Amino acid sequence: MYTMTGLDPQDGKPIEITVRDGIIHAMNAGRGHEEQWLSRGFVDLQVNGYGGDDVNMDEPDPHAIISLTAKMIAAGVTTYLPTITTASEGKITAALRAIARARQSSKLVAGCVPCVHVEGPHISPLEGYRGAHPVEHVRPPDLAEFARWQQASGGLVGMVTLSPHFAGSDAYISGLVALGVHVSIGHTHASAEEIRKAVDAGARLSTHLGNGMPGMIPRHRNSIWTQLSEDRLTATLIADGHHLPGDTIKAMVRAKGIDRSILVSDSVALAGLPPGTYDAPIGGEVELHSDGRLSLMGTEYLAGAALPLKDGIARAMALAGISLGESIQMATANPGRFAGGAGVMQPGMPADLVRFIIEGGGSGLRIERVLVKGKEWS
């Protein structure tokens, strides 16, 4: 038996959780005053890298995924989806094999990584919409290629981000959904009709809504409004204070509702490293600022996301007036629906728990203690 105590983010009251054999055995009212909050472990649907470990390295390495998993846990994330971005088929399948080998060799990775998110390569080839994805590897969706991904990984691909402007997108989406794969719309210049058809075919997510788009778009006829108004879509948002202004986050969450809003980090390998100048695989010379902004050297242009999910939770509160309970829901139970049911704190569920303190000024969370399947992480 193991007991963990803290304040419940949902109501602010002390709570005591008893763990037995890696499972939450009981939840009861706690006693006295606690300075720390207690939550289910965070769930991140979009992780390209962190702390120097890169999911998309040129020579994929299972040891990097094992190292990345340990760093994610230390940041309070007990479930995450390694995210492979647009590349050649050979590079994508190599990355998938590396993740599969990491899961086979490490019970920790197997428990924290339920599946893989492939962001692309079926996205818009247009400048701005494409973001940092290499245009030479953008291509139409192909169920035969998807089958090769699954063969290479043992069926690990559980989420795919695409732009539904391609001919045949509807058949591709319905084919993936029939296999239990979640389809998300992102990096897209698709029309309102194309987006609605994609949703009819089974797409249920919007990838980092409001990003992966040019700075200037038509004020009415653009994919943001269509995705915000489509009640069947759940939006993922990067709340680092750099990718979306606070007013935008507030408006988007109001449009989608808390239940259909998810916080993601979209972190790159440089996330979590000390401020300074780095040579990045995409973008070349970049500058990591003390506030977590990662930009192309000498410019204001973003070169990726560099803050962990725990900081996005705090900044969503500070920027958009979202309560702690709502922000935690957007980083646990909501993404957990797309990650094998993770992120739920109740008896009978795996004891993935995190205790934290909100740092001064709401800039982030300080992780104090983490349980993974009932085992304390140190």
Q: What domains does the chain contain, in order, with CATH numbers?
A: 41-342 (3.20.20.140)
pLDDT-derived band of residue 364, with 50, 70 and 90 as boundaries?
A: confident
Whole-Å CA distances, 317 to 98, 193, 239, 308, 313: 36, 34, 9, 15, 7
- What digits encode the pLDDT tens for the residues 190-238? 999 999 999 999 999 999 999 999 888 999 999 999 999 999 999 999 9
Task: Give the pLDDT of residue 355.
Answer: 96
**Is pLDDT at 282 greater than 80 in this prediction?**
no
Question: Is pLDDT at 359 greater than 90 in this prediction?
Answer: no
HSE-CB at 49 with a 13 A cutoff on CA atoms is 22
Considering only 24-28, 109-113, 165-169, 298-302, which range has the smallest mean pLDDT? 298-302
In whole angstroms, give the CA distance from residue 280 to residue 296. Answer: 9
Average pLDDT of the residues in 272-295: 88
Q: Rg of the chain over CA atoms, in angstroms?
A: 20
- pLDDT value, residue 32: 67
Residue in this structure with the two tokens 């990345």, named with its chain if needed:
68
Closest CA to 47 of 227, 305, 331, 322: 305
Q: What is the mean pLDDT of residues 58-62?
A: 94
Place of tokens 């809003």: 261
Contact 238, 253 (CB under 8 A): no
Q: What is the pLDDT of residue 246?
A: 95
